[in-house]
């Protein structure tokens, strides 16, 4: 399993809510942000002398909860002393950013996180105040007491749990590294699957479950089990993917090895496989977990497995024939949506089984905002979050959340 921490990838971090001057160039005739020295960030950026400017590569990201994909921009930012022409005054350092598709979206009050990465570049993430993204970033980087002034984070506070790792990768931030033992696993994977192509997700997931170790007990601790299976599969996937991608890069693209269109197509296929595989793996592991607990259920795949308007719930308990049977008691029916991350897609679950007023949704997403969980509750949706991930939620949210162990117990009582 992964054992790295956020501090393995970042040197320092600070965050604030944007003031009007920060977000609106018309208020100051500049694109610049002040206050970083007060958060101790100056030691990461340096102290340019009079007349000097330090430039850093910067990945800028803007994302809102309802966004399926973030707005991304790569460019430069300048760290300089805005009093450089006033030698009698003490330095005042500011971070100058250039206009980009990301900065065009900024608004007063938006949350900004600035992080110095180990490769000497900067990461700048903007998101509306109170969003789920803000909650996740604050947990991930150990941030608290955010105001209009920059507040420094505590990078060593948080282990890079799988849900937080997936969140960063959704933002286009690669957090995969070679670890001790990877070569041993690669040899096993090549022996098992041949080392030429990826097997079907169901086959790869079955291998991950079989090799996840003896400490995983699906009957006694289903919450830890689902995270253990997912985490182990993600690690194996990255090891095997690295091997396959290296092989492909060495062989080149096209007849002369430099076909740009073929390279772009290959790159997109790698990204799409990552995204689709995680969701399929999650459903497959849940399927196996429910079978081990003896639950009766069907997944919304295959001919005839639909509810109203051809909707296909991820899991229906005890099954679709019972759901469509007018004589079957509706209080003995349950449905469960499964989404590794919710974003705005959780609303899809609400219309997937009209006969079941109280629906369940299981997710691996950490630190969903209080505003979003309140909206879920108002629509009769019960969120199911594995117990270890629940620690990223606020206390009042955790009183409402249930884990997989509780959900399984509910279904067992229902099916007696």
Q: Which residue is it, tokens 């909206």?
A: 375
Tokens of 330: 């509706």
Unique residue bearing structure tokens 């308007």: 309
Cβ pair 292, 218 in contact under 8 A = yes
Burial label for 223, CB within 10 Å (0-12, 13-18, 19+), is: buried
Q: Give the HSE-up count for residue 391: Cα atoms under 13 Å, Cβ half-sphere.
A: 9
φ/ψ of 154, rounded to 5, equals -115, 95
Question: Is-contact 329 415, C-beta < 8 A?
Answer: no
- 339 DSSP β-pair partners: 363
Residue 225's CB: how many other CB atoms inside 10 A?
Answer: 24
- Residue pointed to by tokens 């002398």: 49
Closest among 87, 67, 77 to 30, alpha carbons compared:
77
User: Alpha-carbon distance 377 to 360, whole Å?
Assistant: 11
Show Cβ contacts of residue 283 under 8 Å, excluding neighbours closer than 6 positions: 299, 314, 338
Cα gap 339→323, rounded to integer Å: 22
Active site residue 207: no
The active-site residue, picked from 62, 80, 323, 393, is 323
Both tokens of 415, joined, read 């099916």
Alpha-carbon distance of 31 to 39, in angstroms, equals 20
| Dihedral angle sign, alpha carbons of residues 341, 346, 351, 354 | positive
d(CA 85, CA 284): 63
Q: Which residues are annotated as catalytic?
A: 323
């Amino acid at each position: 399993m992964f054992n790295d921490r956020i501090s393995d990838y970042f040197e320092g971090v600070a965050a604030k809510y944007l003031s009007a001057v920060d977000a609106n160039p018309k208020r100051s005739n500049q694109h610049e942000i002040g206050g970083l020295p007060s958060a101790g960030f100056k030691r990461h950026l340096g102290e340019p002398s009079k007349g000097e400017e330090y430039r850093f590569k910067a990945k800028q990201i803007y994302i809102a909860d309802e966004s399926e994909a973030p707005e991304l921009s790569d460019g430069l930012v300048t760290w300089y002393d805005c009093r450089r022409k006033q030698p009698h005054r003490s330095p005042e350092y500011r971070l100058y950013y250039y206009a980009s598709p990301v900065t065009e979206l900024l608004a007063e009050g938006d949350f900004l996180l600035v992080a110095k990465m180990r490769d000497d570049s900067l990461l700048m993430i903007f998101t509306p105040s109170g969003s789920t993204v803000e909650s996740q970033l604050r947990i991930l980087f150990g941030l608290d007491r955010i105001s209009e002034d920059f507040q420094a984070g505590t990078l060593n506070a948080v282990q890079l749990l799988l849900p937080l790792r997936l969140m960063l990768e959704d933002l286009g931030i690669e957090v995969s590294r070679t670890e001790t033992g990877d070569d041993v696993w690669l040899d096993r994977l090549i022996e098992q699957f041949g080392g030429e192509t990826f097997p079907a997700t169901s086959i790869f997931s079955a291998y991950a479950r079989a090799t996840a170790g003896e400490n995983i007990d699906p009957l006694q601790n289903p919450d830890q089990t689902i995270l253990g299976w997912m985490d182990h599969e993600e690690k194996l996937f990255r090891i095997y993917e690295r091997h396959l991608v290296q092989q492909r890069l060495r062989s080149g693209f096209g007849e002369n090895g430099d076909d740009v269109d073929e390279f772009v197509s290959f790159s997109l296929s790698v990204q799409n496989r990552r995204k689709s595989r995680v969701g399929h793996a999650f459903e497959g592991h849940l399927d196996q977990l429910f079978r081990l607990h003896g639950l009766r259920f069907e997944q919304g795949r295959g001919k005839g497995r639909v509810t109203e308007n051809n909707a296909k719930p991820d899991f229906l308990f005890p099954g679709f024939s019972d759901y469509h049977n007018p004589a079957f008691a509706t209080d003995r029916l349950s449905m469960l949506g499964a989404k590794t991350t919710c974003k705005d897609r959780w609303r899809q679950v609400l219309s997937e089984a009209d006969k079941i007023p109280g629906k369940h949704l299981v997710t691996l997403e950490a630190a969903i905002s209080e505003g979003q969980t309140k909206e879920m509750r108002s629509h009769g949706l019960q969120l199911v979050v594995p117990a270890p991930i629940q620690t990223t939620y606020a206390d009042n949210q955790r009183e409402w959340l249930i884990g997989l162990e509780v959900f399984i117990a509910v279904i067992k009582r229902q099916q007696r």
